[in-house]
A and B are shown apart, each in its own frame.
Chain A
Amino acid sequence: MLLKISTPLPKDIPLELPLPEWLLVGLLVFAFLAHIVFINLMLGGSILTLWSQIKGLKNKEYDTFAHEIAKTITVNKSMAVVLGVAPLLCINALYTIYFYSANALTGFVWILIIPLVIIAFLLTYLHKFSWESMENNKRLHISIMAAAVGLFLFIPLIFLTNVNLMMFPEKWGTVHGFLEALVLPNVFPRYFEFLGACLTVTGLFVVGYNKRKNYPVEEIYTSFTRFDIYKLGFGVTFIGLGLQILFGLIVVFTIPAKGLGFDVISIMIATGITLIYAFYWTWKTLTGEQAQILQFFTKIVISIVVFLVLYGGNRQLYRHNALAPHQKLMAAKTKEFQKLSEEARLHPVVEVEVADTSEFGKGKDLFTKNCSSCHKEKEKLVGPPMTEMVSIYENNPEGLKKWINSPGKKRPDYPQMPSFGSLSNEDLDELAKYILSIKK
């Protein structure tokens, strides 16, 4: 056993990137943001639905609120899935070796994403469409949502584990399956930070959704006013921001130094500032006057958008820094391999064949290459021995050639012989000549 497990150095796919790298990176960051916002809404929305439905057991208004949010989850989840494909495509193209290696190393759980997401989605539909019919069985109804939330909470861990593992090729040799990759440093702090972001974004969504002029809050609720719901939304954002700041700090201290640099650190500080800024104005909103509750809404939304862009960009920058040295070595290794491969193509190994110039030499060669794995001279191997062929075709070489070209099936206890249609007529002549030269 080696004490030090070495870092693998694979070869890259020897084909050009489909787009200039900067463009792919830009697409990745942008497409990922669009995807993650809907993921935030899907996960944050389901947590909020679960929470308010439980509260709704005592206060009917919360139950109504839960129903209203539940209706949005299934739409948001569809958007989240379809918008997830583009960033997946970009990361596949940009970080092929790293991403696929991480996928394979956590393969079993990675492919479980598919059935788990399907089950979670079906549960959210079941929950949504059984709202009326399960009115008298609230606890069971709530547990359907709880199961969906449980799955929704687990699935991002699989993705996070993968995007984390891909950045550390030096760990690939130490990982045996998903669980060992999950406990690598950096996964959990990032996960909780992500959960905070889900609440932040969902809280703002709740405010925006209920702010719409044509949305009849007054008809839907009996005692809840728009103000109550705004307050609830900002409250959720406040908790989310708090979580983000707390775990953001933990991330700063626990993130492996590998990809860090002054660039990453300074953007980290900037993201921290935008979060604190949003946190401050959310606090102001919650403690301010009722009439002015929407006063800082735009301000908070803009700061969160700025945060998301900076954060997403910074993750990419960290990934870039972390992998650049390894990518450089990999490029060199790939080049070296291609050179070797080209040389071998130009000077292939010459099969040391002493050209057998005797009468049956060519046929014998052909026999060795094409037939000998199934036919021997005197005993049965897979097919009958050559001596039997001689008995059948002694005076009929054309028949033998025809058989080799497109064999039939005569013997029930022998497997079917494959066709050798690839042999030329001249080769078949030589082959038949050789076979029929065997002495019985």
Chain B
Amino acid sequence: MDFPMFHLDWLNNRFLIAVIAILHVLINHGLAVGYIPYITWMEYKGLKNSKSDEITDMKWDAFIYKKMKVAFIITTTIGAMTGVGIWFSASLVSPSSIASLIRVFFWAWFIEWFVFVTEVVLILIYFLTWKNSNKSLSAKMRHIRFGWFLAVFSWITMAIIVAILGFMMDPGNWNEHHSLLNGFSNPIYLPQLAFRTPTAMLVAGLFGMLLTVIFGKKEPELRAKGIKYAGIWILCWAPLSLIGAIIYWNVLPEAMIANMSTAVGTMQFSEYYDLLKIIIIVAISLVLVLATFAFLKPSRVKIWMVIIPCFCAFGFLGVFERVREFIRKPYVIGGYMYSNLLREEDYPLYKKEGILKFATYASTSEINESNKIQAGRDVFMLTCSRCHTTKGVNSITYVFERMYGFGKPLDVASVAGYIPNMHMGRTYMPPFPGNDKELDALAHFIKSLQTSGESLEGVQSKGVQVNPINSVETFKK
């Protein structure tokens, strides 16, 4: 309503956030939270397996250092920037919600930032002091101790951030109790942590194995040893990851009840829910098979055997985050703001006078026969475009044709009849906010899309048209 609408009409706006966020979670879990203890353990193994006259097994140590270097480079580039990127993309796609969250949860953000700065500094220290620590036994032991400390710290970082996330998404508690403790007492907080911790370790073991396979080409002995250790690591964590996943999977519907004012199991949710079950089972069994094989026959592990479970883990975490996001619907901020970025409290006003009248950017606020399609386009942009495109992913024509028949011309009256009631049957949809004329214009616009095939440009290319009645000039009069 108040912001120019950035819009990606093919990929879908949420897709932009999702890609960045999943990449971030994968790197954060797999190459930081889980990876630091894995690497420290490997570093310790070098020390333990060394001959009595040397500080550590230098060849092994160099091998492990190389694996840490990759993680260091990725976490301080892609890892750090995708973290910022989640914010950038969310503030483009969903400015009103991010802005509202920042107003209320400023300190949570601030703590998150502080923890983030500390973590980056600690990782810099751990990595950059590695080579110097190889000069004496006591320095090496200190370095390994620092590694364990860093491992605990990055786990705490995750524990805090999961709480902050839970706290910010906590339905009903919005605006009322500002205590961060709400995040920790959120019903899905502990299950999330119980799932994320071993899963991070598991993914880290997979990445560790992958890098061992890649770097170990010329060193078959180190390669076999490295693969075996990674196998052991994964075998230790996989059962815990499975248990965590089951716990989390079981509390999800409960979280749904708390989040959704109405029905529990919508079709879409149960689709994701079932998908999650299948993916958990497939991914973890695959990883277990690999890890057992790696333990028994480490020198016969090939690169493709490791890459496939890596992709599974990627899909696994992706679906997991998708389900977590889906729980929020139809709200983006529970009980306060719908996922179309409109506040629930303003709905009666929109119902009364329409939304175009209050939109800062719109071509018109008076709908007549000649500007109906244009007005419908504005209504679409204001009320549907955060989740739907005109002809790309989750396009509005697709969702209607799925109901009324593919390839058949849509009936304006049916579309207009359906929209005001859609949130009854499909509880993840926010109610339509506008008045009858806007509804009619929207229905005409949707029908016109079937034949025109137009794509809706966002303000990043088209610019904005200031609604004359919401300009400084008008207001001053």
Q: Is the pair A176, B113 in contact by a Cβ cutoff of 8 Å?
A: no
Q: Is the pair B345, A7 in contact by a Cβ cutoff of 8 Å?
A: no
The residues of B that contact A111 with a CB separation of less than 8 Å are 16, 85, 88-89, 92
Q: A122 — nearest CB in chain B belongs to which residue?
A: B77
The residues of A that contact B81 with a CB separation of less than 8 Å are 81, 114, 117-118, 121
The residues of A that contact B3 with a CB separation of less than 8 Å are 10, 97, 100-101, 104
Q: Is the pair A419, B113 in contact by a Cβ cutoff of 8 Å?
A: no
Contact flag A125-B267 (CB < 8 Å), given A107-B92, A176-B461, A341-B349:
no
Q: A12 — nearest CB in chain B belongs to which residue?
A: B2
Whole-angstrom distance between the alpha carbons of A68 and B120 in the complex?
Answer: 22
Q: Is the pair B80, A419 in contact by a Cβ cutoff of 8 Å?
A: no
Instruction: Report if A174 contacts B (CB, 8 A).
Output: yes
Whole-angstrom distance between the alpha carbons of A422 and B76 in the complex?
Answer: 48
The residues of B that contact A15 with a CB separation of less than 8 Å are 100, 103-104, 175
Q: B467 — nearest CB in chain A belongs to which residue?
A: A8
Contact flag A104-B403 (CB < 8 Å), given A13-B96, A177-B460, A373-B417:
no
Nearest chain B CB to A292's CB is how many angstroms away? 35
Q: Is the pair B470, A8 in contact by a Cβ cutoff of 8 Å?
A: yes
Instruction: Report if A439 contacts B (CB, 8 A).
Output: no
Q: Is the pair A6, B84 in contact by a Cβ cutoff of 8 Å?
A: no
Instruction: Report if A324 contacts B (CB, 8 A).
Output: no
Whole-angstrom distance between the alpha carbons of A416 and B267 in the complex?
Answer: 8
Q: Is the pair A13, B110 in contact by a Cβ cutoff of 8 Å?
A: no
Whole-angstrom distance between the alpha carbons of A83 and B114 in the complex?
Answer: 9
Q: Is the pair B425, A370 in contact by a Cβ cutoff of 8 Å?
A: yes
Nearest chain A CB to B305's CB is how many angstroms away? 28
Nearest chain A CB to B60's CB is how many angstroms away? 21
Q: Is the pair A176, B463 in contact by a Cβ cutoff of 8 Å?
A: yes
Whole-angstrom distance between the alpha carbons of A5 and B198 in the complex?
Answer: 57
Contact flag A18-B103 (CB < 8 Å), given A8-B471, A105-B464, A370-B421:
yes
Nearest chain A CB to B415's CB is how many angstroms away? 8
Instruction: Report if B107 contacts A (CB, 8 A).
Output: yes
Nearest chain A CB to B86's CB is how many angstroms away? 9
Q: Is the pair A329, B464 in contact by a Cβ cutoff of 8 Å?
A: no
Q: Which of the residues A7, A74, A372, A419 comes within 8 Å of B466, measured between beta carbons?
A: A7
Q: Is the pair B106, A113 in contact by a Cβ cutoff of 8 Å?
A: no
Instruction: Report if A75 contacts B (CB, 8 A).
Output: yes
Residue from the set A13, A86, A421 with the largest chain B CB neighbour count within 10 Å: A13
Q: Is the pair B92, A114 in contact by a Cβ cutoff of 8 Å?
A: no
The residues of B that contact A176 with a CB separation of less than 8 Å are 461-463
Q: Which of the residues A18, A332, A369, A422 comes within 8 Å of B104, measured between beta carbons?
A: A18
Q: Is the pair A418, B266 in contact by a Cβ cutoff of 8 Å?
A: yes
Residue from the set A19, A89, A370, A372 with the largest chain B CB neighbour count within 10 Å: A89
Q: Mark B66-107, 1 if CB is under 8 A from A, else 0.
A: 000100010011101110110111011001101110111011
Instruction: Report if B220 contacts A (CB, 8 A).
Output: no
Q: Which of the residues B6, B73, B116 comes within 8 Å of A104, measured between beta carbons?
A: B6
Q: Which of the residues A6, A8, A114, A121 comes within 8 Å of B20, measured between beta carbons?
A: A114
Q: Is the pair A107, B463 in contact by a Cβ cutoff of 8 Å?
A: no
Q: Is the pair B459, A107 in contact by a Cβ cutoff of 8 Å?
A: yes
Q: Is the pair A82, B116 in contact by a Cβ cutoff of 8 Å?
A: yes
The dominant DSSP class at the B interface is helix
Q: Is the pair A348, B352 in contact by a Cβ cutoff of 8 Å?
A: yes
Q: Is the pair A82, B117 in contact by a Cβ cutoff of 8 Å?
A: yes
The residues of A that contact B460 with a CB separation of less than 8 Å are 104-108, 110, 177-178
Whole-angstrom distance between the alpha carbons of A93 and B96 in the complex?
Answer: 12
Instruction: Report if B414 contacts A (CB, 8 A).
Output: yes
Instruction: Report if A96 contacts B (CB, 8 A).
Output: yes
Nearest chain B CB to A149's CB is how many angstroms away? 17
Whole-angstrom distance between the alpha carbons of A17 and B100 in the complex?
Answer: 10
Whole-angstrom distance between the alpha carbons of A418 and B421 in the complex?
Answer: 12
The residues of B that contact A177 with a CB separation of less than 8 Å are 460-461, 463
The residues of A that contact B404 with a CB separation of less than 8 Å are 381-382
Q: B465 — nearest CB in chain A belongs to which residue?
A: A173
Give the number of residues in B that approach A within 8 Å (Cβ atoms): 90
Residue from the set B2, B263, B361, B422 with the largest chain A CB neighbour count within 10 Å: B2
Tally A-B pairs: CB < 8 A.
Answer: 251
Q: Is the pair B472, A7 in contact by a Cβ cutoff of 8 Å?
A: yes
Whole-angstrom distance between the alpha carbons of A345 and B84 in the complex?
Answer: 38
Residue from the set B84, B121, B128 with the largest chain A CB neighbour count within 10 Å: B84
Instruction: Report if A349 contacts B (CB, 8 A).
Output: yes
Contacting residues of chain B (391-417) with chain A, CB-CB under 8 angstroms? 402-404, 414, 417
Q: Is the pair B263, A422 in contact by a Cβ cutoff of 8 Å?
A: yes
Q: Mark B96-140, 1 if CB is under 8 A from A, else 0.
A: 101110111011011001001100110010001000000000000
Whole-angstrom distance between the alpha carbons of A105 and B421 in the complex?
Answer: 34
Instruction: Report if B474 contacts A (CB, 8 A).
Output: yes
Q: Is the pair B403, A374 in contact by a Cβ cutoff of 8 Å?
A: yes
Nearest chain A CB to B64's CB is how many angstroms away? 17
Q: Is the pair A6, B102 in contact by a Cβ cutoff of 8 Å?
A: no
Instruction: Report if B218 contacts A (CB, 8 A).
Output: no
Q: Is the pair A78, B471 in contact by a Cβ cutoff of 8 Å?
A: no
Instruction: Report if B172 contacts A (CB, 8 A).
Output: no
Instruction: Report if A220 contacts B (CB, 8 A).
Output: no
Contact flag A349-B351 (CB < 8 Å), given A97-B2, A104-B4:
yes
Q: B112 — nearest CB in chain A belongs to which residue?
A: A85
Instruction: Report if B426 contacts A (CB, 8 A).
Output: yes
Instruction: Report if B5 contacts A (CB, 8 A).
Output: yes
Whole-angstrom distance between the alpha carbons of A13 and B336 in the complex?
Answer: 13
Residue from the set A78, A89, A329 with the largest chain B CB neighbour count within 10 Å: A78
Q: Is the pair A172, B464 in contact by a Cβ cutoff of 8 Å?
A: yes
Q: Is the pair A382, B403 in contact by a Cβ cutoff of 8 Å?
A: yes
Q: Is the pair B461, A6 in contact by a Cβ cutoff of 8 Å?
A: no
Contacting residues of chain A (169-191) with chain B, CB-CB under 8 angstroms? 169-170, 172-178
Q: Which of the residues B16, B77, B110 comes within 8 Å of A125, measured between beta carbons?
A: B77
Nearest chain B CB to A74's CB is how many angstroms away? 8
Nearest chain B CB to A189's CB is how many angstroms away? 25
The residues of A that contact B402 with a CB separation of less than 8 Å are 415
Instruction: Report if A103 contacts B (CB, 8 A).
Output: yes
Q: Is the pair A7, B471 in contact by a Cβ cutoff of 8 Å?
A: yes
Nearest chain B CB to A110's CB is how many angstroms away? 7
Instruction: Report if A337 contacts B (CB, 8 A).
Output: yes
Instruction: Report if A228 contacts B (CB, 8 A).
Output: no
Contact flag A89-B113 (CB < 8 Å), given A348-B351, A381-B414:
yes
Q: Is the pair B100, A340 in contact by a Cβ cutoff of 8 Å?
A: no
Besides A18-B102, A97-B2, A419-B266, 14 more A-B contacts (Cβ < 8 Å) are: A7-B472, A10-B360, A79-B120, A93-B106, A101-B4, A107-B6, A110-B88, A121-B77, A172-B4, A173-B466, A373-B417, A374-B418, A382-B404, A420-B424
Leading 6 A-B pairs by shortest Cβ distance: A107-B460, A18-B106, A373-B418, A6-B471, A344-B349, A10-B2
A-B contact pairs, 26 of them (CB 8 A): A6-B472, A8-B360, A9-B475, A10-B470, A75-B128, A81-B81, A82-B117, A85-B113, A96-B99, A100-B95, A101-B4, A103-B6, A103-B95, A114-B81, A178-B460, A326-B472, A329-B476, A333-B470, A344-B352, A348-B352, A370-B425, A372-B421, A373-B414, A381-B414, A417-B425, A418-B425
